Amino acid sequence: MTKYLWFPINREGWPFVALFGVVALLLGQAWAPLGWLGFVLTCWCAWFFRDPDRVTPVRDGLVISPADGVVQMIGMTAPPPELEMGDEPRMRVSVFMSVFSVHINRVPVDGKVVKTAYQPGKFLDASLDKASADNERMSVRMTRADGRDVAFVQIAGLVARRIKCDLKDDQEVKAGQRFGLIRFGSRVDVYFPAGVQPMVSLGQTTLAGETVLADLNSMEPARLGEVR
């Protein structure tokens, strides 16, 4: 059915689109202008759950963005304790998703899922640094073929109250593969192996499954950028 639309819709979105559509019909029966408003909101709901295909770079060593959005934070910090990766700080890149972003999340590297961990928590503004520790989150630790670990964390926010992750322990996955979503905006953090520097800058726009966040095989220093 989705192939007849001008943009594909993720299957997780269809129940919401149907609900919005039913409400729009009921509102329209009560008062036509409300029905049109409901129709507009139904279209917005369908657009929110859009799931476009992406062209993923496949060269070994690349870390691909797991989320559409804007690079909001870059810095050294320890991964979530539930992933059992130690207290040593690692380079972390945080991608913030607004309600206008595509919300389908994608795997950043080829490898094996060695640990998934759900952590209940608060629903603070995901743009705050403390949201990494305080908010509800779903953490995933992966091991590449060369033995190096990459971790990524889906973090709920003020509006986003539902994290969905389809990954399971011991699952083999490919970079760019769809693995879940966060409904109605939030953030995804990516933790690199020791010594790896980011290839993105603060404020840069990312596309899930396409934008290269880092190259594990490169000795290039961290990239700097400025708005022009």
Choice among 94, 101, 132, 186 that is catalytic? 186
CB 212, CB 64: distance < 8 Å: yes
Radius of gyration of the chain (CA): 19
Give buried/exposed letters for 157-187 (b at 16+ CB in 10 A, else e): bbebeebbbebeeebebebbbbbbbbbbbbb
Task: Mark whether 186 is an active-site residue.
Answer: yes
Please give the distance of CA 142 from its chain centroid, rounded to a whole number: 16
Q: At what angle do helices 14-30 and 32-48 cross, to 10 degrees?
A: 170
Q: How far apart are CA 96 and CA 156, in angstroms?
A: 11
CB 68, CB 206: distance < 8 Å: yes
Report H helices in 94-135. 131-134
CB 184, CB 160: distance < 8 Å: yes
What is the sign, positive or negative, of the torsion defined by CA atoms of 51, 95, 186, 191? positive
Active site residues: 186
